[in-house]
């Protein structure tokens, strides 16, 4: 089966989906109802329930590798099994591993092998700091998506990202380089936090129709209407709006999967409405 990240994503956008569910499945927050004595089983079981409850409402899933690595080989196995389940149960939904990797080129070959060949993810998030030359092992995978950190959602993201250079800020320079030089295969995207709608608009003006992965809605406080107004492209799409904790942990009771579905429906509806405005 040949999968192409951008094709899968465009089909989801065709259907009006722009909600991305962040599978940041922190074991300590997984409801009792989904837990067993086994770490891997608990995480995979929880993820399967969340996926089954939301797969018709989303444009992508985005597990963050940190919450799996915290449990070592068992966690890594849980991540692999989660992606395997996604490929079977939701074959039309692309999987972005939010790994924020970035090393020199020869080492990035090994990271690309880990994320794309071992885990079989469709896309990855990467760091810009070492430059585009170092990221070639990711960028050359034409069928995979490569989301470069541009403006992160955290409070202190401006420390370097807002540094002034040649009349611009660093995050603007990153957006320009990625869209004008690194995106030769049409497989790049950028990560821009929903907590910075004005910067999101600036980035959209630079990158035309490039996909923007937007974290920060929900627990981090970003606003759906402002995010979509600032970030949508001329076609009214182009956004992958991620919600993690406030959706997957919407309830800590036995009804956690139904509660996640209700929250996904609410968010998806709000996003569709905002996209029409």
Q: Indicate the angle between helix axes 39-54 and 72-89, nearest 10 degrees.
A: 30
Pick 127 or 262: Cβ nearer a copy of itself: 127
The question of whether 169 is a catalytic residue gets the answer no
- Give the Å distances, CA to CA, from 159 to 151, 152, 155, 164, 248: 11, 11, 9, 11, 31
Please state the closest distance from residue 235 (CB atom) to a copy of itself, in A: 30
| 86 in Cβ contact with 49 (< 8 Å) | no
Please state the closest distance from residue 269 (CB atom) to a copy of itself, in A: 27
Q: Residue 185: exposed, middle, or buried by beta-carbon count in 10 A (0-12, 13-18, 19+)?
A: middle
Rounded distance between C-alpha atoms, residue 196 and residue 203, angstroms: 11
> Residues near 195 by Cβ (< 8 Å), separated by ≥ 6?
153, 154, 155, 216, 220, 221, 222
Pick 15 or 104: Cβ nearer a copy of itself: 104
Please state the closest distance from residue 265 (CB atom) to a copy of itself, in A: 26
- Give the Å distances, CA to CA, from 137 to 48, 106, 120: 31, 8, 15
Helix or strand holding residue 148 (H, E): strand 145-151
| 138 in Cβ contact with 162 (< 8 Å) | no
Considering only residues 167 to 226 of the shown chain, the ones binding a copy of itself according to CB under 8 A are: 170, 173-174, 177, 220
Active-site pick, 11, 55, 62, 100: 100
- CB-CB neighbours of 12 under 10 Å: 21
- CB-CB neighbours of 71 under 10 Å: 17
Please state the closest distance from residue 111 (CB atom) to a copy of itself, in A: 5
Pick 156 or 277: Cβ nearer a copy of itself: 156
For the window 27-46, what string marks contact with a copy of itself as x by the rule CB under 8 A? --------------------
Considering only residues 88 to 147 of the shown chain, the ones binding a copy of itself according to CB under 8 A are: 98, 100-105, 107-108, 110-111, 113-114, 117-119, 127-134
What is the DSSP code (8-state) at residue 240? E
- Is residue 76 a contact residue for a copy of itself (CB under 8 A)? yes
Residue among 74, 140, 143, 223 that touches a copy of itself (CB under 8 A):
74
Please state the closest distance from residue 48 (CB atom) to a copy of itself, in A: 18
Please state the closest distance from residue 87 (CB atom) to a copy of itself, in A: 16
Pick 65 or 268: Cβ nearer a copy of itself: 65
Q: Which stretch binds a copy of itself (CB under 8 A): 158-166, 203-211, 224-232, 255-263?
A: 158-166
Q: Which residues are catalytic?
A: 100
Q: Which residues bind a copy of itself (CB under 8 A)?
A: 24, 26, 64, 66-67, 69-77, 80, 98, 100-105, 107-108, 110-111, 113-114, 117-119, 127-134, 149, 152-161, 163-166, 170, 173-174, 177, 220
């Amino acid at each position: 089966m040949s999968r192409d990240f951008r094709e899968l994503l465009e089909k989801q956008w065709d259907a009006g989906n722009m909600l991305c569910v962040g599978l940041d499945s922190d074991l300590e927050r997984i409801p009792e109802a989904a837990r067993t004595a086994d770490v891997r089983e608990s995480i995979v079981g929880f993820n399967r329930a969340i996926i089954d409850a939301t797969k018709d409402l989303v444009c992508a899933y985005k597990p963050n590798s940190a919450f799996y690595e915290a449990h070592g080989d068992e966690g890594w196995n849980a991540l692999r099994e989660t992606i395997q389940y996604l490929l079977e149960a939701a074959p039309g939904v692309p999987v972005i591993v939010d790994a924020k990797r970035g090393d020199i080129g020869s080492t990035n070959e090994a990271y690309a092998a880990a994320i794309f060949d071992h885990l079989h993810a469709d896309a990855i998030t990467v760091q810009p700091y070492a430059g585009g030359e170092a990221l070639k092992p990711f960028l050359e995978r034409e069928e995979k998506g490569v989301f470069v950190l541009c403006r992160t959602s955290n409070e202190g993201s401006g420390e370097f990202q807002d540094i002034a250079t040649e009349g611009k800020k660093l995050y603007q320079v990153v957006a320009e380089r990625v869209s004008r030089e690194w995106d030769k295969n049409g497989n790049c995207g950028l990560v821009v936090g929903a907590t910075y709608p004005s910067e999101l608009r600036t980035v959209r003006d630079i990158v035309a129709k490039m996909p923007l992965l937007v974290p920060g809605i929900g627990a981090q406080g970003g606003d759906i209407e402002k995010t979509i107004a600032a970030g949508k492209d001329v076609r009214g799409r182009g956004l992958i709006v991620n919600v993690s904790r406030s959706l997957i942990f919407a309830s800590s009771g036995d009804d956690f999967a139904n509660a996640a579905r209700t929250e996904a429906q609410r968010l998806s509806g709000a996003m569709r409405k905002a996209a029409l405005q």
